[in-house]
Amino acid sequence: MDTARTYFENRATLILLTLFIVVWNANAIAHHAAEERNTSIWSEPAKSYWYSGQAELSSYRLKQARYGEIHEGTSTLIYVTEPTNPTTQIKADDYTAKDNIHTLKLNATKKFETGLYPYSIMTSVFFPVESRDHALKVTSSVQEWCGHVFTQLNHRESYEIQGFSYFESEGDFSLNLTPTHLESELWVKLRIAPSALPQGNISIIPSFEYLRLRHEKVTAYSADAKLTQNEKEYTYIISYPELERELVINFERAFPHKIMSWYESYVSGFGEAASYMTTSAEYIDTLKTDYWNKKRVEDGALREKLRLP
C-alpha cells in the first residue's frame, strides 16, 4: 500500500509540475508577445519614426543575375505609411475616414541594363500594421524593351491575383489562391516585428519578380525559413528546394531594423547559358524626407546622397 501510495503521489507531483511548466511557458509567450506589441509600429520610438510625415529611402548597389551573367545597377527600398481604403484597397483620398486601414507601404525598385537594353522592376507591398498578418495588396511590374508585365494580388477572402504579360504563353490570367505567406510581405514584416517572421517549413508564394524572370507558375511553394542573429544583425533565410532558390536578407537588430544587404541565388539564364548565380545588393545610404515635395530641378541634388544616377 505504501509503495502504491508513493507511486500515485509521485505521479500527481509530476502532473502538477508538467502543468506548471505548460502554464509558465504560455505566460512567457504571452509576455513576449505583449513586449512586441509595446514595441510595435504604434509605440515610441516607432510611431515617431514611421509617422513623421516622411518616407524612408534607402539605396543599394545591385549586382543582378540575368541571362547567365551579372549586371550592375541600383536598387531602392522606399517605406512610407499611408491610409488605405478597405474596400478598394487603394490609397484613401479621405485620410481621416475611420475605417481606413493603416499600412506601411514598400516600393522596392531595381534598375539595371542587360547589354543594350534596360530593365526596370518595381514591387509595391501594402502591409496592415495593426494585424501584422498578411499583406493587403502586392503589385509588381517589369519593364524592358520587349514589353512589360504586371501582376497584382488583392487579399480578400482569398488571394485574388491578376496577371498581364506580353508573352503569349503567360498571357492574361486571373486566379484565386488560399491565403498563405507572401515573400514580398516579409520585407515589411521584418521592419515591424522580426520575431513574427515565419520559421520552419512553410508554404509561401515567391516574389512576383522572381516568378516573372524565371517564368515560374504563380502558386505557393514549400520552403524552409529560419532567423539567426549575431551581435548587430539578424539574418533571415528562405530556401525553396523545388525551385533550387535561396533568399538571404541581413538587417539590423536595432530599431528600425534597416536592411543592410540581401542575396538571392538560383539558376539564371536558359539553355547552355544557364548557371547557378547570386544576385546581391549592398547598402549605400538612407534619406528620410517627404520626397513627394522634392520635385524641383534643384532637388535632384538629393540623389547624390543616395548615389543614384
Q: Which of 297, 155, 183 is nearest to 248 (CA)?
A: 183
pLDDT of residue 44: 73
Q: Give residue 9's pLDDT band: very low, low, confident or very high (50, 70, 90).
A: low
Please give the pLDDT value at position 182.
Answer: 99
Residues 148, 142 contacting (CB under 8 angstroms):
yes
Unique residue bearing C-alpha cell 475611420: 98
Looking up cell 504586371, which residue turns up? 150
Instruction: Say what the pTM is.
Output: 0.86
The more confidently predicted of residues 151 and 19 is 151
Read off the pLDDT of residues 75-117 as tens digits, 9 standing for 90 and up.
999 999 999 999 999 999 998 899 999 999 999 999 999 999 9
Provide the mean pLDDT of the chain: 89
* Position 40 pLDDT exceeds 90: no
Q: Model confidence over 229-274: pLDDT tens digits?
A: 999 999 999 999 999 999 999 999 999 999 999 999 999 998 888 9
pLDDT band at 180 (very low <50, low <70, confident <90, very high): very high
Do 174 and 165 form a contact (C-beta atoms < 8 A)? no
What local confidence, expressed as pLDDT, does residue 46 receive?
Answer: 84
Residue partners of 271: CB distance under 8 A and separation at least 6: none
